[in-house]
Amino acid sequence: MSGHIIKLSEISSKFEGVSAKVSVNLRHIDFAQTGGLVQNKKPVVGDVLLAKVMSIGDHQVMQSDNGRNIELYEGDKILLPYGNRYAVQQYEAFVPDDMQECHLASKGGLASLIVPENSTLQNPTVIKPIGILTDKDGKAMNMKDFSMNPQNINSKKRPVTIIIFGTGMDAGKTTCAAQMVRGITRAGHKVGFGKITGTGAFSDIYKPQDTGAIAVADFVDMGYPSTYKIGTQETLSILQGLTAYLSLRGADVNIIEVADGVFQSDNQALLKSEDFRSKIDGVFVAADSGLSAISAVRELHNHDIEVLAVGGLMTNTPLTTNEFTKHIGNAAPEFGVLDLADLEKAGTAKKILESIHDKYPDRPFITSPEPEQNIEENIEENIEHTLVAE
């Protein structure tokens, strides 16, 4: 798919005169396979819906496949997937039981029914289903049918996998991930970035890509518009698919972000999964405060998961960092508190990776390339040495 509007009338005579604005979450759908519509199906996560905008509320735009925000107006036809959403600071939303009127539940484009008692939105954007797209054989079109998930590839070796958890929304997870990508890249490694949970939006993969990730992918690429309530096994399938995809692209280290906070219900189920714990090699926590950082680190320790370091918004204020360091006790992370400047250093990255290899000598990691001489890093080190000598 390319462009933010698709003329369905050019695909099938059943859509005479119909054009629709397309969600970024449908970027892998081959609309040339469209044959018609079904109007009496119970929706499931990932079903491709053609809907009409009935009223414009708090969500006034929808993101397209090129990252552009498409302005929406009453009467517009839009194409978007069904999915659930959990946004702790905003609302909870679920796939409805039938094709009733529902809501545009995310900027990325998600058809869902917002739960009023959990919502802080005063005026959600209302959409009316016209029908779920079907292929030429009459089968409902679903994102999973067009995913690039190479989950059937079972390589004997895999990249080192560092998971980034947070204390909640907007704690600095993606920003920390991007700086970590930069630091590990400067240490001579090929780094992949993935996001295994959340709600689809293009902006989540921009930062790590800009700091040097050789490949980026998320759960949308694996066939899911959102991951809330899909179940632990399907989340693990996404992790396996991302690991295989990024490995095939040449990554020897993967930075994988998990949405929301460690106490979110889906994340709690992940933490209890032995399969999940066996697939991760280190954990970094992005926190918005010292107290939340302590709570998250201790919760991870309760699940026998050691934390490499903490960072995020909490590093903006030295007093917050001091509070964390003073009160974390015996659950203190191996590398303490790392701010953004620390994370982008090759030296920090080397120490973290050495620690992981020392802890798990028997894990089947992809052999790391010989680190290339980094002129920029050497210049910085020489400047620091000169200043100290003077």
Q: Which residue is associated with the tokens 């659930």?
A: 84
Which pTM was predicted? 0.89
CA distances from 370 to 1, 189, 252 (A): 39, 8, 12
Burial of 292 (0-12, 13-18, 19+ CB in 10 A): buried
What is the structure's pLDDT at 151? 60
Residue from 337, 339, 359, 343 nearest 282 by CA: 359
Neighbours of 229 (CB within 10 A): 16
Neighbours of 301 (CB within 10 A): 14
CA distances from 200 to 24, 25, 85, 184, 196 (A): 8, 6, 10, 26, 11
Three-state SS string over 314-368 comes to: HHHCHHHHHHHHHHCHHHCCCCCECCHHHHCCHHHHHHHHHHHHHHCCCCCECCC
252: left (phi over 0), alpha (psi -120 to 50) or beta: alpha
Q: How far apart are the first and last CA of the chain?
A: 59
Q: Are 298 and 290 in contact (CB under 8 A)?
A: no
Question: What is d(CA 181, CA 193) in angstroms, rounded to the nearest whole number?
Answer: 8
Question: What is d(CA 231, CA 298) in angstroms, rounded to the nearest whole number?
Answer: 24
What is the structure's pLDDT at 387? 39
What is the structure's pLDDT at 99? 96
Mean pLDDT by 10 residues, the chain (390 residues): 67 77 94 93 98 94 88 96 90 95 96 82 90 96 91 76 94 95 98 95 82 96 96 96 93 97 96 96 96 96 96 94 93 96 98 97 81 46 39
What domains are defined for the chain?
5-146 (no CATH), 160-359 (3.40.50.300)
Question: What is d(CA 43, CA 365) in angstroms, rounded to the nearest whole number?
Answer: 41
Question: What is d(CA 172, CA 277) in angstroms, rounded to the nearest whole number?
Answer: 23
Q: Are 191 and 251 in contact (CB under 8 A)?
A: yes
Question: What is d(CA 12, CA 253) in angstroms, rounded to the nearest whole number?
Answer: 45
Q: What is the DSSP letter of 276?
A: H
What is the structure's pLDDT at 383? 39
Return the amino acid letter for 208: P
Question: What is d(CA 93, CA 101) in angstroms, rounded to the nearest whole number?
Answer: 13
What is the structure's pLDDT at 152? 61
Q: Which residue is associated with the tokens 């970027």?
A: 27
